[in-house]
């Protein structure tokens, strides 16, 4: 079970307080220049403020009106800054939690790592901050791993809850795809020698902190394109408002600069302009809450368009170790008797296969490990004999490779039981490994070892299929074994006997066909494919090379997490599109509010389009400006939480969003502006 700390709420008081302060700090024009829409709003707010000061000094009768307009324009800028600050604040809260995992612990650095002297290892105590690339450290039970690295010797149980939030310890060992360790984790048992692969300040946790704080968040291509669109609309409406002044004067209508600025701010897309950055930050934050670290916003966005997923089989779809799946007795041997015999033969077997045999015997047959027998003699596994077992008084129990057991068996090879041969053929056909079991030279049966598919993974792949994502398993196994695993896991296709070059070729071919590819993997041999894929999700349990090649790291090492990753990516795109639609649709109501207010004196016929029956021209303009500011605050929860994603077709999603955010964007301002007008009128009358 996960032990992650509770995620801060949408409006956690501590985050709100910090965001309110940060909103004022973001008024710096150099910071706002990255957001053209809000930058323009700030500049015109300065102009209206100066006009208000002039009106006060000259005791102009419109000072009250220009002052209210100036105040609400500043509120518009502050609310936009506040939206971004809240999104960043949630990331900073995550970063603060991550900082607690860092420690200025001491490390046991080996002075002569190659042991050229031939003597016992010489160790010096140094600060973890003094470690450099290539240093080799000894980490013993109870020690913190001082930095990111690769295990070069030893095996240990490691508590990674500080990184993954998972309380169950994991096994890390030299060689293979589970040799990477992360600084800040704790060794619980045994010892390991670790070669440091990241300098202080560049560790995995340091990168995570920088990412979740948004310090290195760059705008994605989609976000840049939308920023260009919003800038274009702002320029267009700026030209419209500037040219409107001489046209109005020609018709006999005198428009003040304050009114024209109010019109400009109401027409430019301030709503989506104020929320755009918050939407992107919140998308990465949602990934973090699913225990996935994205090293780029581009990857989050690309995840929303992924249509093909490549998964490495070993350690990704399967657990990666051969595990006992069933006991198959032969002849008249009872299944329970076979289970008891093979459990006794495996009690001293500390290999993953041996432990899985004992676990299966206990869970499926209710067997209990016997008390230690002083007369028992353990026969350890040997690569030469390929046999292990135990000798008890009157019983000699052995398990091992079929050929090795048969060589010691009293049964001639040409007289093997038919059910024994059929069982071997069935196990081999499904890609499993048979282990033979004997007692005193007589065959008892077989143990079916197989690379176990992770539980519930078939249902998860079905969910991916419902999203329109094709799943492809990549494995180095022969086609027969690959087909068996693919069928059990429920993937759509598989690539057998795949080399790193084969994976790259497949990804490039699919990308040339216009597909976006996601790749999940954990091994060094997966690194090239992870780097080439549009979305490369590396498992936290994988090697350092895999984690550096991918643009996402799954801290739970769950390949089906891509379902959440894709959903979050789609949610990000949908949220951005929906709020853009809502923002642009808002302008319709503002036309009906402001245009009559500007020209009704000169052209009384325009009163016909004052369908909201607003109290006065000044009240109409002020109500539109107030609504324009308040709608940003109202939409912050939606920007942070995201528009709900459902695995339906694109056409259905488009219809739904146009109905809700297009039609809603037209209707909501009519109601909102009218209610604000009633309140403004009541206050003025009072």
Residue 378 pLDDT exceeds 90: no
- pLDDT for residue 634: 92
583 and 613 co-located in one domain = yes
User: Are residues 424 and 445 in contact, defined by beta-carbon separation less than 8 angstroms?
Assistant: no
Residue 629 is assigned to a structural domain of this protein: yes
- pLDDT for residue 632: 92
- What average pLDDT does range 553-582 have in this prediction? 83
Residue 3 is assigned to a structural domain of this protein: no
- What average pLDDT does range 391-397 have in this prediction? 88
Q: What is the pTM of this model?
A: 0.65
Q: In the structure, what pLDDT confidence band is assigned to residue 633 with cuts at 50, 70 and 90?
A: very high
Q: In the structure, what pLDDT confidence band is assigned to residue 676 with cuts at 50, 70 and 90?
A: very high
- pLDDT for residue 649: 65
Q: Which of 127, 176, 131 is nearest to 150 (CA)?
A: 176
For 171, residues 6+ apart whose C-beta sits below 8 A from its C-beta are 155, 156, 157, 158, 178
Helices (H), 100-174: 161-164
Residue that terminates a domain, selected from 399, 419, 452 = 452
Strand, helix or coil for residue 543: coil
Residue 101 pLDDT exceeds 60: no
- What average pLDDT does range 659-679 have in this prediction? 91
- pLDDT for residue 4: 44
- pLDDT for residue 447: 92
386 is in an annotated binding site: yes
- What average pLDDT does range 473-496 have in this prediction? 83
Residue 107 pLDDT exceeds 60: yes
| Straight-line distance from the first to the last Cα atom of the chain, in angstroms, rounded to the nearest whole number | 60
669 and 588 co-located in one domain = yes
564 is in an annotated binding site: no
Residue 145 pLDDT exceeds 90: no
Q: Which of 269, 301, 268, 272 is nearest to 284 (CA)?
A: 301
CATH number at residue 424: 3.40.1110.10
- What average pLDDT does range 420-429 have in this prediction? 85
Of 104 and 492, more confident: 492
How many domains would you assign to the chain? 4
Is residue 451 flagged as an active site residue?
Answer: no
- pLDDT for residue 6: 44
Residue 322 pLDDT exceeds 50: yes
Q: Which DSSP string corresponds to 477-519?
A: S-HHHHHHHHHHHT-SEEE-S--HHHHHHHHHHHHHTT--EEE
On the CB side of 425, CA atoms within 13 Å amount to 6
Residue 100 is assigned to a structural domain of this protein: no
531 and 598 co-located in one domain = no
Residue 1 is assigned to a structural domain of this protein: no
- pLDDT for residue 168: 57
343 and 277 co-located in one domain = no
Q: In the structure, what pLDDT confidence band is assigned to residue 383 with cuts at 50, 70 and 90?
A: low
52 is in an annotated binding site: no
651 is in an annotated binding site: no
218 and 84 co-located in one domain = yes
157 is in an annotated binding site: no
574 and 654 co-located in one domain = yes
Which residue among 143, 177, 285, 312 is the active-site one?
312
* Residue entry with tokens 């428009």: 255
103 is in an annotated binding site: no
Measure the CA–CA gap between 641 and 139, rounded to whole angstroms.
Answer: 42
SS3 string of 304-340? CCCCEEEEEHHHHHEEEEEEEEEEEECCCCCHHHHHH
Task: Of 126-140, 296-310, 620-634, give the range with the top mean pLDDT.
Answer: 620-634
CA distances from 326 to 323, 400, 425, 446 (A): 9, 15, 15, 8
256 is in an annotated binding site: no
CATH number at residue 509: 3.40.50.1000
106 is in an annotated binding site: no
% of the chain with per-residue pLDDT over 90: 12
Helices (H), 542-561: 544-549
Measure the CA–CA gap between 421 and 665, rounded to whole angstroms.
Answer: 71
129-143, 162-176, 295-309, 441-455 — which is least confidently predicted?
A: 162-176
Residue 323 is assigned to a structural domain of this protein: yes
Measure the CA–CA gap between 377 and 393, rounded to whole angstroms.
Answer: 9
420 and 377 co-located in one domain = yes
- pLDDT for residue 176: 66
Q: In the structure, what pLDDT confidence band is assigned to residue 3 with cuts at 50, 70 and 90?
A: very low
Domain range for 522: 292-317+454-555
364 and 443 co-located in one domain = yes
Q: In the structure, what pLDDT confidence band is assigned to residue 671 with cuts at 50, 70 and 90?
A: very high
Q: Which two tokens stand for residue 32?
A: 């706002």
307 is in an annotated binding site: no
- pLDDT for residue 215: 42
Task: Of 339-348, 489-498, 629-638, give the range with the top mean pLDDT.
Answer: 629-638
Stretch (H or E) spanning 434: strand 433-439
For the CA atoms of 454, 460, 464, 467, the dihedral, rounded to the nearest 10 degrees, stands at -170
Residue 560 is assigned to a structural domain of this protein: no
383 is in an annotated binding site: yes
503 and 626 co-located in one domain = no
549 is in an annotated binding site: no
69-73, 218-222, 254-258, 544-548 — which is least confidently predicted?
A: 218-222
Residue 50 pLDDT exceeds 90: yes
Q: In the structure, what pLDDT confidence band is assigned to residue 297 with cuts at 50, 70 and 90?
A: low
For 663, residues 6+ apart whose C-beta sits below 8 A from its C-beta are 585
673 and 601 co-located in one domain = yes
Residue 602 pLDDT exceeds 60: yes
183-218: b or e for each residue (b if 16 or more CB lie within 10 Å)? bbbbbeebebbbbbbbebeebbbbbbbbbbbbeebe
276 and 339 co-located in one domain = no
219 is in an annotated binding site: no
515 and 386 co-located in one domain = no
CATH number at residue 122: 2.70.150.10
Mean pLDDT of the chain: 81
Residue 118 is assigned to a structural domain of this protein: yes
Stretch (H or E) spanning 139: strand 136-140
Q: pLDDT tens across 78-93, in order?
A: 999 998 888 777 666 6
Residue that terminates a domain, selected from 555, 578, 605 = 555
Tell me, what DSSP letter sits at residue 279? H
Residue 360 is assigned to a structural domain of this protein: yes
522 is in an annotated binding site: yes
Task: Of 1-10, 116-125, 130-139, give the range with the top mean pLDDT.
Answer: 130-139
- pLDDT for residue 460: 79
- pLDDT for residue 207: 64
Residue that terminates a domain, selected from 408, 435, 452 = 452
- pLDDT for residue 329: 92
Residue 514 pLDDT exceeds 80: yes
- Helix 63-99 × helix 13-25 angle, to 10°: 120
Residue 372 pLDDT exceeds 90: no
Q: Which two tokens stand for residue 574?
A: 């949908």
- pLDDT for residue 556: 77
- pLDDT for residue 10: 57
Residue 213 pLDDT exceeds 60: no
Q: In the structure, what pLDDT confidence band is assigned to residue 373 with cuts at 50, 70 and 90?
A: low
202-206, 233-237, 259-263, 335-339 — which is least confidently predicted?
A: 202-206
């Amino acid at each position: 079970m996960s032990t992650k700390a509770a995620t801060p709420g949408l409006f956690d008081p501590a985050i709100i307080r910090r965001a309110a302060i940060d909103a004022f700090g973001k008024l710096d024009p150099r910071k706002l220049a990255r957001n053209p829409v809000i930058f323009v709003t700030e500049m015109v707010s300065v102009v209206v403020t100066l006009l208000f000061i002039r009106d006060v000094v000259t005791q102009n009768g419109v000072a009250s009106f220009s002052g209210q307009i100036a105040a609400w324009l500043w509120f518009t800028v502050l609310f936009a800054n506040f939206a971004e600050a809240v999104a960043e604040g949630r990331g900073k809260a995550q970063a603060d939690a991550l900082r607690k995992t860092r420690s200025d612990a001491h490390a046991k650095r080996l002075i002569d790592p190659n042991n050229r002297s031939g003597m016992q290892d010489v160790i010096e105590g140094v600060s973890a901050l003094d470690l450099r690339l290539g240093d080799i450290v000894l980490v013993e039970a109870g020690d913190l791993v001082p930095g990111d690295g690769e295990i070069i010797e030893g095996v240990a149980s490691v508590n990674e809850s500080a990184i993954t939030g998972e309380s169950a310890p994991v096994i890390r060992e030299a060689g293979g795809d589970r040799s990477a360790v992360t600084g800040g984790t704790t060794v619980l048992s045994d010892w390991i020698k670790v070669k440091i692969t990241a300098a202080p300040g560049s560790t995995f946790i340091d990168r995570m902190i920088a990412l979740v704080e948004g310090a290195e968040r760059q705008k994605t291509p989609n976000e840049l394109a939308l920023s260009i669109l919003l800038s274009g609309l702002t320029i267009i409406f700026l030209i419209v408002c500037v040219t409107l002044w001489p046209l109005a004067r020609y018709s006999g209508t005198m428009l003040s600069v304050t009114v024209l600025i109010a019109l400009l701010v109401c027409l430019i897309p301030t709503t989506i302009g104020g929320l755009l950055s918050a939407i992107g930050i919140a998308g990465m934050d949602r990934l973090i809450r699913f225990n996935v670290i994205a090293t780029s916003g581009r990857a989050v966005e690309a995840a929303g368009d992924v249509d093909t997923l490549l998964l490495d089989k070993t350690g990704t779809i399967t657990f990666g170790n051969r595990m006992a799946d069933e006991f198959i007795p032969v002849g008249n041997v009872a299944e329970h008797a076979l289970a008891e015999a093979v459990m006794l033969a495996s009690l001293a077997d500390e290999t993953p296969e041996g432990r899985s045999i004992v676990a299966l015997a206990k869970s499926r047959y209710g067997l209990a490990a016997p008390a230690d027998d002083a007369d028992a003699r353990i026969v350890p596994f040997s690569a030469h004999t390929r046999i292990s077992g135990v000798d008890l008084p009157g019983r000699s129990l052995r398990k091992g490779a079929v050929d090795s057991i048969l060589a010691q068996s009293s049964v001639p090879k040409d007289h093997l039981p038919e059910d024994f041969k059929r069982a071997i053929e069935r196990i081999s056909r499904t890609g499993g490994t048979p282990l033979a079991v004997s007692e005193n030279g007589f065959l008892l049966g077989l143990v079916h070892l197989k690379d176990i598919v992770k539980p519930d993974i078939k249902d998860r792949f079905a969910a991916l299929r419902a999203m329109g994502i094709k799943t492809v398993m990549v494995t180095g196994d022969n086609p027969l074994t690959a087909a068996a695993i693919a069928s059990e896991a429920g993937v759509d296709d598989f690539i057998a006997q795949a080399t790193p070059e084969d994976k790259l070729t497949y990804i490039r071919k699919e990308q040339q066909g216009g597909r976006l590819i996601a790749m999940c993997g954990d091994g060094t041999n997966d690194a090239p494919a992870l780097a080439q894929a549009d979305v490369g999700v590396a498992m936290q349990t994988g090697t350092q090379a895999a984690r550096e090649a991918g643009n996402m790291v799954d801290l739970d090492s769950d390949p089906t997490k891509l379902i959440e990753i894709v959903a979050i990516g789609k949610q990000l795109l949908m949220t951005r599109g929906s709020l853009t639609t809502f923002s642009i649709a808002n302008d319709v109501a503002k036309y009906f509010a402001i245009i009559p207010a500007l020209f009704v004196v000169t052209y009384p016929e325009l009163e016909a389009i004052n369908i909201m029956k607003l109290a006065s021209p000044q009240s109409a303009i002020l109500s539109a400006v107030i609504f324009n500011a308040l709608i940003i605050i109202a939409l912050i929860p939606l920007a942070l939480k995201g528009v709900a994603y459902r695995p339906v077709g694109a056409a259905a999603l488009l219809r739904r969003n146009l109905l809700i955010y297009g039609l809603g964007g037209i209707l909501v301002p009519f109601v909102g502006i009218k209610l604000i007008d009633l309140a403004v009128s009541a206050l003025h009358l009072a």
